[in-house]
C-alpha cells in the first residue's frame, strides 16, 4: 500500500531534502525558546521557524504527490494557507495578552494618586 517505491530517485532525494530542511528550521525556531530571555523575544523565533519549516514540508508534500499522481497536488496549499494565517494571529494575541497583563501588574504596583490636601 506504500507508494514510496514508485517515487523516482530525484524526487525522493528532493522530498527528503525538503522534509529534513523543514524539520531543521522548525528545530532552530524552537531552540529560540531556550536561548532568549523575555517573553516577547521567545515568541518570535518559533513563529518564524514553524512557518518556514511548514513551508518546506508542504513543498515536499506537493512534490511527492505531484510526481506520484502525475498532476499538481494543491490540497497542501490549503494547509499552508491556514497555518500561515493562524500562526501570526496566535503570536499577536499572545503578545497583546502579555502586554495587557504587564500593564495591569504595573498599574497595581504604582501608588494611587492621593487627593490634594490643599483645599
pLDDT digits (tens, 9 = 90+) for 76-112: 888 888 888 887 788 888 889 988 998 988 888 886 6
Give the domain extent around 57. 9-109
The residue to which cell 494557507 is assigned = 81
The domain tally of the chain equals 1
- Identify whether 55 is part of a domain: yes
- Identify whether 63 is part of a domain: yes
Q: Nearest Cα to 83, choosing from 61, 53, 63?
A: 53
- Identify whether 1 is part of a domain: no
pLDDT digits (tens, 9 = 90+) for 15-51: 999 999 999 999 998 888 788 888 877 877 877 888 8
Q: How far apart are CA 23 and CA 57, in angstroms?
A: 8
* Nearest-5° Cα angle at 29, 12 to 15: 5
- Identify whether 118 is part of a domain: no
The reply to whether the predicted model has a pTM over 0.95 is no
Amino acid at each position: 500500500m506504500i507508494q514510496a517505491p514508485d517515487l523516482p530517485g530525484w524526487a525522493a532525494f528532493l522530498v527528503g531534502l525538503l522534509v529534513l530542511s523543514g524539520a531543521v528550521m522548525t528545530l532552530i525556531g524552537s531552540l529560540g525558546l531556550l536561548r532568549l530571555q523575555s517573553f516577547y523575544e521567545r515568541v518570535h523565533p518559533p513563529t518564524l521557524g514553524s512557518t518556514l519549516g511548514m513551508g518546506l514540508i508542504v513543498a515536499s508534500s506537493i512534490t511527492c504527490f505531484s510526481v506520484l499522481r502525475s498532476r499538481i497536488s494543491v490540497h497542501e496549499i490549503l494547509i499552508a494557507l491556514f497555518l500561515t494565517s493562524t500562526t501570526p494571529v496566535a503570536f499577536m494575541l499572545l503578545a497583546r495578552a502579555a502586554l495587557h497583563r504587564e500593564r495591569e501588574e504595573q498599574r497595581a504596583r504604582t501608588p494611587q494618586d492621593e487627593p490634594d490636601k490643599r483645599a
